[in-house]
Amino acid sequence: MARQPNWSPWQEVRRLQRDLEHLFERGNLAPRESEYPPVNVTHTPDGLIFVEVMCPGADKGTLELTVAGDTLTIKGERKPEEGVADTRYRRRQRPMGPFTRTMRLGDRIDTDAVQATYAHGILLVQLARVPEATPKRIAIRS
């Protein structure tokens, strides 16, 4: 049986409150440092975890992944276009500069089985749970 993440409706209320405060402080809903780059995380029944990281414009050479226990850290940098002055922008919603995103995945990760590819602005990370963290179905005898 797959482990369900702890979810609380109050988490969503706090997130909404932070977004509204952010809107009134800066006048837009640009992602905060802790929420960039955006990610999708999926799990498979056989113990694989896929993390899809959307970081268009990031140079592959600046990307760095670190896995420790159940925590994945993604670092990179998005450099501004050369020759385009900041004064030419009327609106700029894509954040530039270095970024770091750290997330807990909920399961210990086998660091020897991590694979990552980067294409078309999407970093795809495939991780495997350590064998003892993978759910095992137990037969019930009578």
pLDDT at 133: 59
What's the whole-number mean pLDDT along residues 59-72? 91
Handedness of CA 15, 20, 23, 25 (dihedral sign): negative
CATH 2.60.40.790 fits 33-81+95-133, yes or no: yes
Long-range contacts of 88-94 (CB under 8 A, 24+ apart): 93/28, 93/30, 94/56, 94/57
pLDDT in tens, 102-139: 999 888 898 888 999 999 999 999 999 887 756 677 78
Kindly tell me if the per-residue pLDDT of 10 is higher than 90.
Answer: no
* CA atoms of 62 and 39, how far apart (whole Å): 18
Long-range contacts of 80-89 (CB under 8 A, 24+ apart): none
pLDDT in tens, 93-110: 777 889 999 999 888 898
Structure-model confidence comparison of residues 120 and 89, the more confident one = 120
pLDDT at 122: 94
Judged on CB neighbours under 10 Å (0-12, 13-18, 19+), 60 is exposed
* CA neighbor of 30 nearest in space, from 120, 122, 99: 99
